[in-house]
Amino acid sequence: MIVKTIILARCGSKGIPDKNIIHIHNKPLVSYTISAALKSNANDVYVSTNCDKIANVSKQYGAKIIQRPDSISGDTSKSEESLLHFAQSIYFDILVFIQPTSPLIIPEDINKGLEMILVDKYDSVFSANKEHWIPRWNMDGSPDHWDIFNRPMRQQMPEKYTENGALYITTRKQLENSKLRYGGKIGILEMPFSRSLQIDSYEDLEIIKKILQ
């Protein structure tokens, strides 16, 4: 089985300029996911990017580069477009898709997901953390799917999985058939909340800097 890893890291981050290569403890953000993937059971690690700066940094940390067309690198472009572009260019049996904004991922997470594909015969896997029920509110101030006059106790409500966006694994067949990152028989790779944080804001960045100390 040929296993390839792809990390999507385009130019043009609005919230944090140059987010994918911003430094955390003297290392660029994308290097954390490259390192985890290189230490996993995947065969090769590619960074898909439309940015020469990101490409040069990624190569320094051991990744191969696939040039992503600008037509699928915009703010509204879907990740699946880049995954399918990769599939047209590079052969693989299984594709590991990691987001560079999830630097807390470890090689064991990737290997566990691959085992679910290879041994448990899932067609695709995504990472998630388990979440206890908490009262959520809509932006208009109304309760979101619960009754303010009959507030349930946390213990009465079922736990749910929250997709953490860190890791997706799919077979080539599944990706090409569904054109989606997951489909067919879907497995859930449970990760602890402590490794499920993503960097989408400067506040997230400061929290993760403290975790990675």
pLDDT on residue 120? 97
**Domain count along the chain:** 1
Q: Is the pLDDT of residue 24 over 90?
A: yes
Q: Where in the sequence numbering do the catalytic residues fall?
A: 151
Closest listed residue to residue 171, CA positions, set 91, 98, 112, 107: 91
Please state the three-class secondary structure of the chain as a single string.
CCEEEEEECCCCCCCCCCHHHCEECCEEHHHHHHHHHHCCCCCEEEEEECCHHHHHHHHHCCCEEEECCHHHCCCCCCHHHHHHHHHHHCCCCEEEEECCCCCCCCHHHHHHHHHHHHCCCCCEEEEEEEECCCCCECCCCCECCCCCCCCCCHHHCCCEEEEEEEEEEEEHHHHHHHCCCCCCCEEEEECCHHHCCCCCCHHHHHHHHHHCC
Q: Looking at residues 172-180, what average pLDDT do you find?
A: 97
How do strand 160-171 and strand 44-49 relate by DSSP bridges? unpaired
Q: Looking at residues 36-46, what average pLDDT do you find?
A: 96
What average pLDDT does the structure give for the chain?
95
pLDDT on residue 13? 79
pLDDT on residue 110? 98
Tell me: the pLDDT tens digits for 75-108? 889 999 999 999 999 999 999 999 999 999 999 9
pLDDT on residue 178? 98
Q: Looking at residues 10-20, what average pLDDT do you find?
A: 86
Q: What is the CATH number of the domain that holds 14?
A: 3.90.550.10
Q: Looking at residues 186-198, what average pLDDT do you find?
A: 96
> What letter represents residue 156's amino acid?
Q
Domain containing 153: what range? 3-211
pLDDT on residue 26? 93
Q: How far apart are CA 139 and CA 132, in angstroms?
A: 21
Residue 209 pLDDT level (bands cut at 50, 70, 90): very high
Q: Is the pLDDT of residue 12 over 80?
A: no
Q: Kindly state the percentage of the chain with pLDDT values over 70.
A: 100
Tell me: the pLDDT tens digits for 118-175? 999 999 999 999 999 999 999 999 999 999 999 988 888 899 999 999 999 999 999 9
pLDDT on residue 47? 98
